[in-house]
Amino acid sequence: MTLRTRVGLAGGAVVLVALAIASVIIYSTVGPNLRRQLDDSLVQAVEQSPVVARQLKQKNEASRRPAPIDTPVDLGSTLLQFVTPPLDLGSNRTFIDVTERDLDVARGLEPAYFQDATHGGVAYRVYTAQVPGSRDTLVRTARPLDDVTGVLTALAALLIALTAVGGLVAALGARLAASRVLRPVRVLTDAVEHVTATRDLSARVDLTGRDEIGRLGRSFAAMMTALDTSVHAQRRLVADASHELRTPLTSLTTNLELLAEDDGLRDPEAPALVRAAITQVGELRSLVNDLIDLARYGEGTARAEDTRLDLVAERVVAKASTRAAAPRFERDLSPCLVHVDPDAIERAVANLVDNAVKWSPPGGRVLVTVADGEFTIDDEGPGIPPADVPFVFDRFYRSAQARSMPGSGLGLAIVRRVVETHGGEVAAEPLARGTRLRLRLPVVRD
C-alpha cells in the first residue's frame, strides 16, 4: 500500500470518526428536544380544553344525535378526551383505562403527569390533567409516538448516510491531496532509488518548498553534493598518491636490483646506492605518514579543548630554531584562546613553519605573528607565482620551482584540512619579498 493511499485512508478515518461523534451528539440532542416539544404541545392542548369543551357542548346542543362527551376529539395531530364524573376505575372503551392516579388527579390530589400508552395498536404519548377551572373532570391529550420516532428514524438514516459519504469523500480528497503534497517525497524517493541502482552521486533533487519536505530535499541535495565531492576527492587522492608513490618506489626498486647483482655489494657505488635507498624509504615513510594525517585530521575534532594559539606557536618556533641553518625568527605573539584539537593545530602550525624554513635563504628572517585567532608567518624566500596562489593548499600541488625540492606536497593540504575542520580558513599572499601564509580560527570570547 502506497503512502498516498495510507494518508487518504487515515484522513477518511479521521473524518469518519469526527462525523460519527457529531452524529451521535446531534441524535442524542434532537431526541429529547422532540419529546420536549411533544410534551409542550400536549400541555398547550390541555390549556385550550375549556374552549374545546364549550365548542363540543354547543355542537351537541345543536345536533340531533349528540356524541358522548368522553369521545376522543381529533385536533389535527393531537387527540383530546374528556373523562367526566362519575369516574370509575377500570376499562375505558374509548381510550386508555382509568387508574387510581387518574382519580387523584381529577380530585386535585396529584399533579398532572405524562405517560406512554398503547391504544388500538398505536403507541401514544399521553398527558393527563384536571380540566382547568373544573373539579372531578379529567382531560387527556395524546399524540402518536410515531411523530417522534419517525423523525428520529429519518434523522438516524440521514446521519448514517452523511457519515459514510463524508468519510468516503474525505478519503478520496485526502488521497488526491496527498498525491500533490507528497509529490516531493516521490521525487526524493525516485532520486534515492536512482542513486541506489546506478551509484550516480551526481543526481540532483529540485525541491524548493519551505516546509519540512523542502528542507529535507535541500539537505539531501547538499548531502549528495558532499558525497559526490568526497568520492571525487578520494579518487583524486588515490590517483595522486599512486603517482607520488610510483617515483620513489621505482627508484628504490632500481637501487635494490643493482645491489642484488653479483658484484652489487662489492661495487664501489654500493654505499651510495644504500644511502639513496634509505633516503627513498624515508620519502615513502613521510608520504605515507602525511596521507594518514590528512585522513585522520578530517575525521572531526572530538578532542577539542580551549588552547592558547600563541603558546602553540611559541613551542613550534622554539623547536624550529634549534635546527641547523635555521632562519632568524622574529615573534609577535599576542595571547589568543581558541577551541581546537591541540595536536592537530600544532601539526598545522609546524607545517607552516617548516614551509617557511624550507624556502628561507641562509640568514633569512621569518616573522611569526599571532593575534585575534590568526597565525601569520612571513618568509623571505623566492615567493609564490601569482598563478600558483589559488592552488598552494591543494593536495600534491607543487609549483615548477618546488618540484626539485624534497617533500610530499601534502604539508599545506594538511594545514587546510585541519583548519577547515575547526571552522577556520587559510590563505596565501605573495609579498614583495617572500610569501605570507596565514590561518584563522574562531576565537573563544570571555
Catalytic positions, please?
A: 243
C-alpha cell at 157: 438514516
Task: Please count the other Cβ atoms lying within 10 Å of the Cβ belonging to residue 258.
Answer: 16
- Please answer whether residues 19 and 161 qualify as being in contact, where contact means their C-beta atoms are separated by less than 8 angstroms: no
Task: Please count the other Cβ atoms lying within 10 Å of the Cβ belonging to residue 95.
Answer: 19
d(CA 140, CA 131): 9
Beta-bridge partner residues of 419:
none
C-alpha cell at 186: 516521490
Crossing angle of helices 212-260 and 270-296, rounded to 10°: 170
Cα→Cα distances 165→13, 67, 162, 395, Å: 12, 55, 5, 68
C-alpha cell at 242: 599512486
Crossing angle of helices 183-198 and 146-181, rounded to 10°: 40
d(CA 408, CA 430): 22
Q: Give 181: exposed, middle or buried? Use CB within 10 Å, 0-12, 13-18, 19+.
A: middle
C-alpha cell at 4: 498516498
